[in-house]
């Protein structure tokens, strides 16, 4: 019942409003939910599933690469002041730049295939992780681990027992924040050099004037984002039990 009230009921309201708008305006480009879901059911296995698979793989690999790079680097920047002073000017210079501007560069480096799209997603997510984790570590009360330093604990032990558990909620929050932007950029990037992916499917359907297909792709892309958000919430509830406010 809680899940229904939190997620299903709002979706039903959106679909009802969509159906009413489709009936009132009666435009060819505004397919009704009934037409859209009819097409989605008919074409899911033959078309949509394959495009969704490519999009999900690209975004998951991009996020994994960003976590592997950004999480440890963010902790080191937050813990080692000299390292932070050396690297922060570079980060501050690159971070405000719209990441989509790097897409032509990645296409030249990695070609028109999957890796250029994965690289742009990783670039978006890695900066969110790096900065959020770094700032969290820097703002931590040093008394939390000073006693470990007094006991001559090694840095790796401080990271393992204090910094990693403390920064993990920020890692999940950073990924959650960057997901929306990542999906938007993925949609744009999948219109270049590929015939697979939800971004390509949506744009191609629009160009073919197949509006039920276009809306089907939009819905599936939204579902992908929704499931990724739920996955992050699950990880947070499963592995961040020590932080009830996370």
How would DSSP label each residue in 177-208?
HHHHHHHHHHHHHTTSS-S-SHHHHHHHHHHT
The answer to whether 129 touches 174, Cβ cutoff 8 Å, is yes
Running DSSP on this structure, what letter comes out for residue 4?
Answer: I
pLDDT given for residue 51 in this prediction: 94
| pLDDT at 117 (0 to 100) | 92
Rounded mean pLDDT of 42-58? 90
- What's this model's pTM, rounded to 2 decimal places? 0.85
Percent of the chain with pLDDT over 70: 93
| Segment holding 221, helix H or strand E | helix 211-239
* Length of the chain in terms of residues written: 246
CA atoms within 13 A of residue 145's CA, in its CB half-sphere: 22
Sign of CA dihedral 36, 37, 41, 46: positive
Mean pLDDT, range 204-221, rounded to an integer: 92
**Greatest mean pLDDT among 100-104, 177-181, 215-219:** 215-219
Q: Tens of pLDDT along 185-200?
A: 899 889 888 889 999 9
pLDDT at 10 over 90: no
| pLDDT recorded at residue 246 | 42
Residues 176 and 232 sit within 8 Å (Cβ to Cβ): yes
CA-based torsion, 99, 91, 71, 116: positive or negative: positive
When pLDDT is averaged across residues 70-76 and rounded to a whole number, the result is: 93
pLDDT at position 99: 82
Q: Where is 119: in which H helix or E strand?
A: helix 114-139
pLDDT value of position 112? 82
Return the number of other C-beta atoms located less than 10 Å from residue 74's C-beta: 29
Q: Cα–chain-centroid distance for residue 117?
A: 13
Instruction: Please name each of the domains of the chain with its CATH number.
Output: 54-189 (1.10.3720.10)
Whole-angstrom Cα distance, residue 146 to residue 186?
43
Which pLDDT band, with edges at 50, 70 and 90, does 27 fall under? confident
Residue 143 has pLDDT above 70, yes or no: yes
More confident residue, 244 or 183: 183
CA count, 13 A, side-chain hemisphere, 214:
14
- Distance, CA of 112 to CA of 103 (rounded, Å): 10
Mean pLDDT to the nearest integer, 84-99: 88
Q: 158 pLDDT exceeds 80?
A: yes
How is residue 95 annotated by DSSP?
Answer: T
pLDDT at 118 over 90: yes
């Amino acid at each position: 019942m809680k899940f229904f009230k939190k997620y299903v009921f709002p979706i039903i309201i959106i679909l009802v409003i969509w159906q009413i708008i489709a009936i009132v305006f009666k435009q060819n480009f505004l397919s009704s939910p009934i037409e859209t879901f009819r097409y989605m059911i008919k074409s899911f296995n033959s078309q949509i599933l394959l495009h969704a698979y490519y999009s999900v793989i690209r975004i998951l690999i991009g996020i994994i690469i960003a976590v592997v790079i950004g999480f440890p680097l963010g902790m080191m920047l937050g813990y080692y002041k000299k390292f932070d002073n050396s690297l922060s000017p570079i980060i501050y210079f690159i971070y405000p730049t719209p990441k989509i501007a790097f897409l032509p560069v990645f296409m030249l480096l990695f070609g028109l295939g999957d890796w250029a799209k994965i690289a742009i997603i990783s670039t978006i997510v890695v900066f969110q992780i790096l900065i959020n984790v770094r700032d969290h570590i820097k703002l931590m009360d040093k008394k939390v681990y000073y006693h470990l330093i007094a006991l001559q604990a090694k840095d790796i032990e401080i990271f393992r027992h204090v910094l990693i558990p403390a920064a993990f909620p920020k890692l999940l929050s950073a990924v959650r924040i960057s997901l929306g932007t990542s999906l938007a950029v993925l949609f744009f990037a999948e219109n270049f050099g590929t015939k697979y992916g939800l971004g390509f499917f949506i744009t191609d359907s629009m160009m073919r004037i197949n509006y039920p297909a276009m809306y089907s792709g939009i819905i599936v892309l939204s579902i992908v984002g929704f499931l990724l958000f739920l996955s992050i919430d699950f990880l947070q509830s499963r592995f961040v039990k020590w932080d009830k406010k996370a």
